[in-house]
Structure 1
Amino acid sequence: MSEVRTERAGSALLITIDRPEARNAVNAAVATQLSAALDELEATPELRVGVLTGAGGAFSAGMDLKAALKGESPVVGDRGLGGLTEAELTKPLIAAIEGFALGGGFELALACDLIVAAEGARFGLPEVKRGLIAAAGGVVRLPQRIPHHLAMEILLTGEPIDGVRAGALGIANRVVPDGETVATALQLAEQIALNAPLALAAVKAVVRSQDPWAAQRAESARLMTTADVREGMTAFAERRAPQWTGQ
């Protein structure tokens, strides 16, 4: 049985973790199938943006501890938890969060480029309550996203925050009523997909670079040689929507 479902919605790929009976916790099957879904997004030219969500009113409760005790790994190669937290994706990925995004679930969300949160969502990194740290990117990414002392409160207490608080801290791009996150995320995906795919990939490459200034120069120079840049300039001059080819 598939534990990760994919559905094309225009130029977006909706990816749903489908283990509601386990609050969409990540076991080996979820990790393998999520990694494959991300590969589908990357390999399909007509797909421009991904939206990641969970079934049954929860995003993900993180690593499946029962499966881990049986020896299952939620890590895929060098791509991290769920094949996502250390993956270098070229296409934008939006997390649509309903219900729990705890531990590894929160880390999956932090690995996305944008986050849409339901007001009643619960974000938390409770690993310290189990003698662990948020080692799938939580201790790295969270202090990069929000002020140091606020990140440290979440990391050191292990206590969750709701979607409204996540929005106030800047963790979430949008905070919407419960049940509306996927629709909102797909709207954001449509807006992003109007832009040049090579430029979107270049933005991501610069942002994650160890030397962003050098990466910025290299990506800008490369983009200036592309057909999409010429198309973008021509479309502007002709007052029409550009027709991107990704070339």
Structure 2
Amino acid sequence: MSTARSDLRARDAVVRFEVRDGHTAVVTLNRPEARNAVNGAVAAALEAIVDATEGDPSIRAVVLASSHPEVFCAGADLKEISAGRRASLRTERGGFAGLVFAKRDKPWIVAVDGKALAGGCELVLACDMVVASPRASFGLPEVLRGLIAAAGGLYRLPRALPANIALEMIATALPIDAERAHRFGLVNRLVEPARVLDEALQLASQIAANAPVAVRESLRVARASRDLDETALRQRSIAGMAIVAASEDYLEGPRAFIEKRPPRWSGR
């Protein structure tokens, strides 16, 4: 993976990858000339990054950001679609952009300082938490082009927003701004543009300070809460607790508390 990481760190990579403070991966969409539209290279890179971060026990959170000063992501690259390469914009395991349906245990935080439209909005909805600036906006304009938001947007947006607001956005193709999205709970933290990435990194560091196994199992149950009934969620919670209780960190937490020191999590 070291060679792949070097390729992704290159400034001209379509998706840049770096690790901050040892535990946070920063993933930056980097096709500013195309408003970060997703092509085959972006999809392949994001899937590779999902695999890399999931397989690296030192990574505890991932921040998804943009290199474009005004656009987070404009969605699918229409030039690729018109050239007959629509299938390349998705991967078998990850779906659109190699990410929206990818199986992930690590928390993903998206930093949005600009427009997140169509597939770009679906990337946002695929993440766990959102940090945005007031100049960010979110929308699913697919019906303007005779399309539908088939990469999760049609059912994730009504889960993230009041249903009638989401239905209006889907049917009219009109976006909402970040301040309104924050009031409705789609955006976790609303900060000035210069602070968006730093705020996302701070949120990631707050997550990384906690026991990795406990975070992973807690999120696994919480993410399923929209799809499973209480009986199934109770069983999943019991299973998660068993995994946590068998970890080294289960003993480290109380020990650190008694010894009045910061815990040294192993993630095992």
Q: TM-score range by the shorter chain?
A: over 0.9
CA offset at residue 170 of structure 1? 0.7
Q: What residue in structure 2 maps to residue 178 of structure 1? A: 193
Conserved 8 A contact 2:50-2:102? no
Q: Match for 2:124: what amino acid?
A: A
- Size of the aligned set, in residue pairs, is 247
1:225 paired residue number: 246
> In 2, distance between residues paired with 1:157 and 1:182?
31
Which of 72, 78, 81 lines up with 2:96 in the alignment?
81
Separation in structure 2 between the aligned mates of residue 181 and residue 92 of structure 1, nearest angstrom: 17
CA distance in 1, matches of 2:125, 2:104: 14
Deviations 1:72-113 (A, max 9, x none): 221111311111111111111100001110011011011111
- In structure 1, the partner of 2:4 is none
The more displaced of 34-43 and 186-195 is 34-43
Q: d(CA) in 2 for partners of 1:215 and 1:169? A: 29
Structure 2 Cα separation of the partners of residues 69 and 214 of structure 1: 47
Shift of 1:212: 2.2
Aligned partner (choices 53, 70, 73) of residue 65 of structure 2:
53
Instruction: Measure, in 1, the Cα distance between the counterparts of 2:252 and 2:132.
Output: 35
Question: For residues 25 and 117 of structure 1, what CA distance do their matches in structure 2 show?
Answer: 19
> Which secondary structure does the structure 2 equivalent of 1:13 belong to?
strand
Task: Say what the alpha-carbon RMSD is for the aligned residues.
Answer: 1.2
1:67-146 to structure 2, matched below 5 A, reads: 67-72=80-85, 73-146=88-161
Q: Matches of 1:135 and 1:33 in 2, distance apart?
A: 21
1:230 deviates by 0.8
In structure 2, the residue matched to 1:42 is: 54
1:2 aligns with 2:13: yes
The answer to whether the 8 A contact 1:34-1:82 is kept is yes
What are the ranges of 5 or more consecutive residues in structure 1 without an aligned counterpart?
none
Shift of 1:179: 3.0
The match for 1:148 is 163
TM norm structure 1: 0.96
Deviations 1:126-176 (Å, cap 9, x if unpaired)? 011111221111111111122111111111111011111111111100111
CA distance in 1, matches of 2:222, 2:84: 35
CA distance in 2 between counterparts of 1:212 and 1:157 reads 36
Q: Which residue of 2 aligns with 1:16?
A: 28
- Using structure 2 for the length normalisation, give the TM-score: 0.89
Distance 2:246 2:139 in 1: 44
| Aligned-partner Cα distance in 2 for 1:237–1:146 | 42
Stretches of structure 2 that go unaligned for 5 or more consecutive residues are 1-11
Identity of aligned residues (%): 45
Is the Cα–Cα contact under 8 Å of residues 197 and 244 in structure 1 kept in the other structure?
A: yes
What is the deviation of 1:204?
2.2
